[in-house]
Amino acid sequence: MRVVDVVKQGDDILHLLDGPAQFSAGAAVHGTIDWERRYAHMRYHTAIHIIDGIVATRHSSQGMLTGSQIYQDRARFDIDVEDFTREFVESVVQELTR
């Protein structure tokens, strides 16, 4: 069975499956990691931290990262910028690609 989502509910971590469970509560299960998916998440996660670091250290007076979401094939982030201009974006991209 595939795990399609993982959510935290109180102190519990729930693994949501792609269909009805074929085992009972408390049963031992063995899982494997989808390495391609995991590696993609790792890369996007790192990229978001790098962008956040650039904005926080170089452009802290202009904005800050306020949220993000990572998917297997893309990521998005929210940035709170008072004066969001093409020049601001280009300066962050230029620093990012150094």
**Structural domain of residue 74, as residue ranges?**
3-96
pLDDT at position 18 is 94
Closest alpha carbon to 76 in 63, 84, 85, 67: 67
pLDDT in tens, 2-42: 998 899 999 999 999 999 988 998 899 999 999 998 999 99
Query: 75 pLDDT exceeds 80?
Result: yes
Provide the percentage of residues in the chain whose pLDDT is more than 70: 96
Provide the percentage of residues in the chain whose pLDDT is more than 90: 50
Query: 59 pLDDT exceeds 90?
Result: no
How many domains does one find in the chain?
A: 1
pLDDT at position 58 is 75
pLDDT at position 83 is 76
d(CA 84, CA 15): 39
pLDDT at position 63 is 66
Q: How many CB atoms lie within 10 A of CB 62?
A: 17
